[in-house]
Structure 1
Amino acid sequence: MILNYYIELRRSILEFKNFKINIIFANLGYIILFMGLIDFFDNERKSLFFLLFTWYWSLHGLDSTAFILEEEIEYRTLFNILSSKVSIFSIIAMRNLIQIFMDFMKGCIIFIIIAIVLNMSLNVSLSQFLLIFIFIITTTIIMYLIGGIIGSFALVYKRISSLSGVLYYVILFFSGIFYEVKVFSVLFPFTVLNNIIISLLNNNKIPMNSVIIICFQLIGYLSLMFLSFKINCRRLYREGKILHV
């Protein structure tokens, strides 16, 4: 398992090197966007800094699983995976962990640049930072679980990953980072994360009601992901499509 993880990590690093110009310019666009947003919402810049980092870090969580399955279907290797003793969840988890690691490294570079250019001083204690980081990780995991639910439909529908492209900026602007639309703030964990970050920064306290909500979201989406995979795998076998993937 560790060897496979190392091989996949090397593959991702080589892919990064091959497309480094594209990746650099794409992330330069994010730097400009984030700097503009942080500067415009100046009164909330500290909490916004952490929220935008979380959004960037968790961004690929929405489409990573779908891309993995679509790639396996394209190369006609999914049937072998489903027929093997290796769980499909372990393969997806391994590749998602690599995606999380790569996005974390890129995110750190981007937000260090932003902090330097905007001359930001976060003024947070080590305990505050660690607590905020724990909830950022939790939010990122939830986003990958949501992506797992979306991705499970790649087993029966083509190009389901395109749905994630629509959700990226819906989540950024309407899920509680900037504006709160009720349906999106309930579905996605950013409103809860925002409440936790603001409470920690201003009062050095963790709002337990928000913690309970984010824990329910974590457990709920984990259960839904397993259920959606079970339903879509069953449908794949029932409709006789298994030999075509």
Structure 2
Amino acid sequence: MPALPALQHLLVVSPHLDDGVFSCGQLLAAHPHSHVLTVFAGAPAAEVGLTPWDAQCGFDSSEQAVAARHVEDREALARLGAKPVWLSFLDGQYGSTPGCDEIEAALRPALDAVRPDAVLMPMGLFHSDHALVHEACERLMKRSSAGLWLAYEDALYRRMPGLLQQRLTLLTRHGICATPATPQRTGTLAAKRRAVEAYASQLRAFGDGGYADTEAPERYWQLTQATAPKPRGRRAPSATAEEVHDAD
């Protein structure tokens, strides 16, 4: 397996305000000054009221929930030496889902501004928001000049049977080769744990043991566009005995 080059500055694309740390916290700890770009970080209007998930997290309104999550995300990333970038798209639970083209268009200037050594995108497992972010990143990867693209396995969802295998199959169909990748440097689990703990409201909703997968080893895949195999030269068929006889 070819080794990844040494990395300094990462851009982790996170669907929600916690996914980047849950899935890549140790890697971020080893690469300070990296950026975590959260796609669905927008605040819902007051008329949205209170969603079941936000109520489970202990909030009185969804506006209050997103404001608190911004505070939690900033603190979690500060503990890892990373910087937040928040897009204004709304989490799917708030009933306003953007199109893939909109997300791709918003990601492109962010990528140009940050200029990372590597872009890390979610595999896009289970959750519709995760799948949408994956699709937008996949499109951007095919059109971008950025060199190194890695996919991370979405923490919590990667444990669901068959989901990772389905995504790898789809990547192959889309002409993308996914190869297991091991970064040269990763941080400690203790550093990641401290960052995860900053998302207190989310952890409250997951309950005891509901986020245990954040403690399991992080796994990454290098993504490259597959190249068509070169056609091999075809040898002229040898003459049959009947053809030789006719020639005589």
- Structure 1 and Structure 2 fold alike (TM over 0.5): no
Structure label with greater radius of gyration: 2
Which TM-score band applies after superposition, normalised by the shorter structure?
under 0.3
Per the normalisation by structure 2, the TM-score is 0.24
Q: Which has the higher strand share?
A: 2
